Amino acid sequence: MATQIKQRRDTAANWTSVNPVLAQGEPAVETDTGLEKVGDGATAWASLKYRAPLVSPIQAAKTADYSFTLADALAGKRVIANKATAIAFTILPQGTGGGQVAWQSENELSGFNRNDGLLTLTPGSGVTFIGSVLTFAKGTGFTAVRTASNEWVVLPFSAGSASAPVVDEGASTNVTFSTLTDPDGDGKNYRLAKWTVDGTLVVTTTGEVDALAVAAGGPRGSNNYCSGGGGAAVRGKITLAAATHTVLVGAWIGDSSPGSLSKIGELRARGGSPPPTPTTGYGDSVYPGHANGDGGGAGGPASSGVAGIGVTDDISGSAVEYGKGGQSITSTAAVANTGQGANGQAASTHGADGVVYARWEI
């Protein structure tokens, strides 16, 4: 008959209450947590460190809010968020009661977001975080290091290219974020930020973004047959340092003014001008080319009824013509947020406001 060997075992609360000294090399297990300690013949239970469990370093993906456990820290697990809408991970306070965890010195926790829902790291009661980035978009994550009883240093990271920035989406303003899945057919995915009004982008780790700045198109001229100048559309790769960056979106100013400035980082564009005041007649035969923007936007048409060609760009995941010139004999309003110049007979006498995009690999 086989010999059955049983380890010493009890609940975590009972081990803490009795607080025995285990013999040197003697193992004992907590039946309700599965955690184990091994004695040294001198140290009481409460002062012994847990043995790291032999489990996978990757937690099962979480589709609902989750609170970290001591087992996550001891095994060096990276907990994965996999939810299409917002999800929160929580670090509970130090302690042995309900809603607490008996954290050990220099414990580390790690989380990563693999889906479109924004992941937020939240502190339990009395817990303090050192670090400003506590929200994590798809393809980003964090390591949290315990430095005091209820103090954790939060270190963000990105799983994208080495040059990708880490962005605090929750702190950025007047911006819409989305994810582009393989838009260029090269297997790369991107996080896309879009502003249609002035706002900010909060970058916590310096990185490179691909950006497009589109400024407003010019208004129509002083009669119903004069189309407006095109806006500007400028695209380029720029490096954004760790800082709060102001994003300007060029909007229509007035009947006799060009579109205002659009800007993100060092990338900037200013919209085109309206046609001049007519001296004789109507139409584009008098005004053979209205002023275009200062970065590739179209001018007004050179022949009646033909709009100047703008710049077609697919940074947003679909091809859009930006900075298109106004058309003299149409009443169609300019397409919103494309920097299109005003059409001559449009009920609205101004060009379309601009837009700013930025995207980075995730």
Summarize pLDDT for 218-274 with one digit per residue, the tens: 777 666 666 777 777 788 888 888 899 999 998 877 655 666 788 998 888 877 666
**Residues 90-104, mean pLDDT to the nearest whole number:** 90
Residue 194 inside a domain? The answer is yes
| The pLDDT of residue 293 | 44
Residue 204 has pLDDT above 90, yes or no: no
Same domain, 254 and 117: no
Residue with the bigger pLDDT between 176 and 158: it is 176
Output the six-digit token pair for 322: 């930006």
Residue 294 has pLDDT above 50, yes or no: no
* Banded model confidence at residue 66, pLDDT cuts 50, 70, 90: very high
Residue 1 inside a domain? The answer is no
Average pLDDT over the chain, rounded to an integer: 80
Specify the range with the lowest mean pLDDT, choosing from 14-18, 124-128, 151-155, 273-277. Answer: 273-277
Same domain, 169 and 152: no
| The pLDDT of residue 299 | 52
Q: Cβ atoms within 10 A of the Cβ of 231, count?
A: 42
pTM: 0.61
Residue 207 inside a domain? The answer is yes
Same domain, 182 and 325: yes
Residue at which a domain ends, from 158, 188, 217: 158
Instruction: Report the number of distinct structural domains present in the chain.
Output: 2
Q: Cβ atoms within 10 A of the Cβ of 196, count?
A: 16
Same domain, 241 and 127: no
Output the six-digit token pair for 301: 């048409």
Backbone angles phi, psi at 312, to 5 degrees: -90, 130
Asked whether 213 and 245 are in contact (CB, 8 A), the reply is no
Same domain, 264 and 347: yes
Specify the range with the lowest mean pLDDT, choosing from 15-24, 64-73, 132-141. Answer: 132-141
| The pLDDT of residue 290 | 42
* Banded model confidence at residue 289, pLDDT cuts 50, 70, 90: very low
Which region holds residue 285: left if phi is over 0, alpha if psi is between -120 and 50, else beta? alpha
Residue at which a domain ends, from 107, 124, 158: 158
- Residue appearing with tokens 């790690």: 110
Q: Which domain holds residue 268?
A: 160-362
Q: What angle do CA 173, 174, 180 make, to 5 degrees?
A: 95
Same domain, 214 and 314: yes
Specify the range with the lowest mean pLDDT, choosing from 27-41, 191-205, 270-284. Answer: 270-284
Same domain, 186 and 126: no
Residue 188 inside a domain? The answer is yes
Residue 251 inside a domain? The answer is yes
Same domain, 167 and 126: no
**Residues 193-220, mean pLDDT to the nearest whole number:** 88
Same domain, 106 and 173: no
Residue 3 inside a domain? The answer is no
Asked whether 252 and 230 are in contact (CB, 8 A), the reply is no
| The pLDDT of residue 225 | 62
Residue 243 inside a domain? The answer is yes
Specify the range with the lowest mean pLDDT, choosing from 91-95, 140-144, 148-152, 346-350. Answer: 346-350
Residue at which a domain ends, from 158, 192, 225: 158
Same domain, 118 and 137: yes
pLDDT digits (tens, 9 = 90+) for 16-29: 888 998 888 888 88
Same domain, 177 and 231: yes
The whole-angstrom separation of Cα 63 and Cα 83 is 5
Residue 153 has pLDDT above 80, yes or no: yes
Comparing CA positions, the residue from 179, 203, 206, 201 lying closest to residue 191 is 179
Residue 131 has pLDDT above 70, yes or no: yes
Residue 20 inside a domain? The answer is no
| The pLDDT of residue 283 | 36
pLDDT digits (tens, 9 = 90+) for 324-342: 877 777 788 888 898 887 7
Parallel/antiparallel/unpaired status of strands 199-205 and 166-167: antiparallel
- Contacting residues for 100 by C-beta, under 8 A, at least 6 apart: 92, 93, 94, 124
**Gap between the terminal Cα atoms of the chain:** 59
Same domain, 166 and 205: yes
